[in-house]
A and B are shown apart, each in its own frame.
Chain A
Amino acid sequence: EPEVTQTPSHQVTQMGQEVILRCVPISNHLYFYWYRQILGQKVEFLVSFYNNEISEKSEIFDDQFSVERPDGSNFTLKIRSTKLEDSAMYFCASAADGNEKLFFGSGTQLSVL
């Protein structure tokens, strides 16, 4: 069964450092998303991406965040200068159609020290 894969599963970084979280969405999907979940809190929308551009972003997704689809298979989330409060589980998701069923990866646990 096709699945969304995310690497790394864990990422530890120092405050102020840049991190790149990587995702390989399901191959025939056209809509891509990043969500995050701070420990004990709900899954929060960060950004959606379609047709090589951001279609929507939340207030969390400020200038420190960027997304890119550098080739036909990868979808990345970059945090330029990490803060302590960026520590969370980051989930990538993809969908064949907007508002259709989202398939989530297993997440990257980001710890900012």
Chain B
Amino acid sequence: QKEVEQDPGPLSVPEGAIVSLNCTYSNSAFQYFMWYRQYSRKGPELLMYTYSSGNKEDGRFTAQVDKSSKYISLFIRDSQPSDSATYLCAMSAANRDDKIIFGKGTRLHILP
């Protein structure tokens, strides 16, 4: 089983829709969970950062972590064409120097 699994998509939704992006993972030591957005030929840009379980909201973005199910989600409300990008989930364990492991990324297209 891969350490972090993410459906690569592409996922196409109409403008204004709610988008749900998900990842599963196998390593129960992961404590830090992140979502990055990556535009074509650019570096990943941090969107959301959460520690342990629970929800976190920032504007149109909500991140959820369910450690019991080893499942994390990113919701985008009122999606915009500018949200079209690849979304990468990422996570790391509690040790300070532990590397961050990325999912493969989900390509999202918001249709005007």
Contact = CB atoms under 8 A, between A and B. Distances in A.
Interface of A: 4, 33, 35, 41-45, 48, 50, 55-56, 58, 89, 91, 93, 97-107, 109
A43 B99 contact: no
A29 B84 CA distance: 30
Contacts of A56: 97-99
A42 B92 CA distance: 16
A35 B104 CA distance: 13
15 contacts: A35-B102, A42-B88, A42-B102, A42-B103, A42-B105, A43-B102, A58-B99, A101-B49, A102-B34, A102-B44, A103-B46, A104-B36, A106-B43, A107-B41, A109-B41
Interface of B: 32, 34, 36, 41-46, 49, 88, 90, 92, 94-105
B88 A43 contact: yes
B42 A45 contact: no
Contacts of B96: 97-99
Given A91-B44, A99-B97, 6 more contacts: A45-B99, A45-B100, A98-B96, A101-B34, A107-B41, A107-B42
A13 B40 CA distance: 23
Given A42-B103, A42-B104, A42-B105, A99 B43 contact: no
B49 A91 contact: no
A91 B99 contact: no
Contacts of B44: 43, 91, 102, 104
Given A105-B43, A106-B43, A98 B97 contact: yes
